[in-house]
Structure 1
Amino acid sequence: MHSARFDGSFAGWRQAARELLQQGVSADQVTWYSHDGETDLFAAGTPCATPHPATTTIKVPRQLLDLLESAARYRCADRWSLLYRVLWRVSHGDRSAMLAGDADGSELHKRLKAVRREAHHLHAFLRFQPCAVENGPDFVAWHEPAHDILHSASGHFAERMGQHSWLIATPQDGVYWDGQRLHHQQHCPQEWQQLAQAPGDEGQQLWLAYYGSTFNPARLNRSVLENNMPVRFWKNLPEGPLIPQLMSQARAGAQRDGQAQAVAQRSGKSIRYRTGSDEVLSGSAAPDLPR
């Protein structure tokens, strides 16, 4: 057995994988050890020295490297061994390892899909709030992704936040945008985590007011809500504690009115409209105006 030790990054894995391929070491003969403590739990054998580089040239499709880099963000015990197994097969002429119809390819594409979905969750469920600390970033946010998508997916916010500085911290890593450049820390500093988990009250109240006013009880479908906004994110959303309360109000009558309680209590004309197979009465769709 061969032991491949690297720094836990895709670039480090790629260098180690290249050396193993050059030495002709097959996928079932490698145990992966990263410096961040992650070990391939499905491999066996006694660790030994990483092989020395050889001069053999290995060529694989650029598309494969892009797929492997994305799949490397998927957290699991055998993330690195699957990547090397696919790489080994493709480098030896078996390109079916890249396809969803193959056993390894199917697992690879399952991980790619999960990584893309987790990046979407970051974009959809991250809540920036004003920083409560003087001389800190303009905005901070705390997020707990299931996979290592923060670095690759956070450029989305750099394009939308202009020159405002902001910080996103997670239990694993963190990113800081200074208005010009994105800085990534593979191990999130403790001070970053503290800033992100202690936002100002002003931001909290703004999110609560926004979510409470836009929530539409007439369209409430709990299973759809939980599928599109997984419950695991609720604890870190400013509006998270408000969601069960709004669902309870919907079942208690707000769903019949078709509006949030505060809106339905206002005077106005009532109209009827249909949602699915149910007819809903709206009590304040058109407020009375002075004549």
Structure 2
Amino acid sequence: MINLDCDDLFDTWRQQARWLLSHEVDPSLVSWASLGVADLFASDEPVPEGQGPFQARIPRALLDTLEQASRYRGDQRWSLLYEVLWRVSHGDRTAMMAGDKLGSELQRRIKQVNREAHHLHAFVRFIERPSSSAGPQYVAWHEPAHDILHSASEHFIGRMGRHRWLIATPRDGVYYDGEQLIHQRQCPQEWQQLAQNIDDPHGDLWLTYYSHIFNPARLNEKVMQGHLPARFWKNLPEGELIPWLITQARMGKQQNGQASGIADRAGKRIALKSPSP
């Protein structure tokens, strides 16, 4: 078994895979370390030196597909990509298709990656810092399940204009300085502390607004968690309200929730005008 480590970088993996293909090394003979953890069953087999004689012809579309799938974190992250590459390079393009067992897993991973990018766009909550502060004007903390931050955060360049902003995660971070997007694979500790410890001056106002627009009569927990997974609640300002609002809905507010919010208000008497003679 040949044991390789691409440091979870697609370009590094691509160079390694190209070299393996040139020597026609079968996928069953290769293992990639993931997240710095080596395969316990891999051994230090001697590896071929130099470039091999086999020249593979790879469609550009496949490389783009493999790069998308490479952002998925999970078992056999890089080995699966090499197996797809191997089959296509040997004339079997069904490995790219959803109808194939391997292609189905490839497409599933791409779908998960795209969904995680959507979650970033939907659930990041930027908090504005005081105008006198140096550095980013807006900061946010997010915990994505896959490596989508660098590619998906470009979405905010158009949305935030010339403002400076920062998104920190447990792994990496991005900072837009008004002109260019800076990505750090290892998120600096000061970025993480800044994003996790900042107070939102408008937080109470937002919680009041959210609690008033929540409609218990239309609550469907399964659908809600499909669109807003519970793993994101802890990092959303309204997350602390959601369990309480769900509990209130279960306890009867699904029937009277729309009226209960105004039941104790005094109301206003409307005087009727006397009909004209």
TM-score (norm 2): 0.88
Contact 1:163 1:179 in 2 (8 A): yes
Question: Following superposition of structure 1 onto structure 2, how do residues 1-291 of structure 1 map, counting pairs within 5 Å?
Answer: 1-33=1-33, 37-40=36-39, 44-46=42-44, 48-49=46-47, 51-54=49-52, 56-131=54-129, 134-259=133-258, 262=261, 265-266=264-265
Instruction: Name the SS of the counterpart of 1:167 in structure 2.
Output: strand
Question: What CA distance in whole angstroms lies between the structure 2 residues aligned with 1:233 and 1:223?
Answer: 15
Instruction: Name the SS of the counterpart of 1:201 in structure 2.
Output: coil
In structure 2, the partner of 1:276 is none
Shift of residue 259, structure 1, vs aligned partner: 2.8
Contact 2:124 2:140 in 1 (8 A): yes
Change (3 A) 1:289 1:72: farther
Provide the aligned length of Structure 1 versus Structure 2.
Answer: 271
Question: What CA distance in whole angstroms lies between the structure 1 residues aligned with 2:145 and 2:179?
Answer: 28
What stretches of structure 1 of length at least 5 have no aligned partner? 269-286
Sequence identity of aligned pairs in percent? 57
Deviation string 1:32-62 (CA, Å, 9 cap, x unpaired) is 236x514356x63335457433465322111
Q: CA RMSD in A?
A: 2.5
Change (3 A) 1:3 1:157: same
Query: Which one is further off, 113-122 or 88-97?
Result: 113-122
Change (3 A) 1:263 1:169: farther
Question: What CA distance in whole angstroms lies between the structure 2 residues aligned with 1:6 and 1:72?
Answer: 11
- The code of the aligned residue for 2:78 comes to W
Change (3 A) 1:131 1:61: same
- The code of the aligned residue for 2:239 comes to G
TM-score (norm 1): 0.84
Question: What CA distance in whole angstroms lies between the structure 2 residues aligned with 1:89 and 1:83?
Answer: 10
- The code of the aligned residue for 2:175 comes to Y
Question: What CA distance in whole angstroms lies between the structure 1 residues aligned with 2:86 and 2:269?
Answer: 72
Change (3 A) 1:252 1:31: closer
Q: In proportion to residue count, which structure has more strand?
A: 1
Question: What CA distance in whole angstroms lies between the structure 2 residues aligned with 1:4 and 1:234?
Answer: 37
Question: What CA distance in whole angstroms lies between the structure 1 residues aligned with 2:264 and 2:156?
Answer: 38
Contact 2:163 2:177 in 1 (8 A): yes
Change (3 A) 1:234 1:117: same
Contact 1:145 1:170 in 2 (8 A): yes
Contact 1:71 1:115 in 2 (8 A): yes
Instruction: Name the SS of the counterpart of 2:201 in structure 1.
Output: helix
What stretches of structure 2 of length at least 5 have no aligned partner? 273-277
Shift of residue 181, structure 1, vs aligned partner: 1.2
Deviation string 1:123-157 (CA, Å, 9 cap, x unpaired) is 11111112369213111111111111111111111
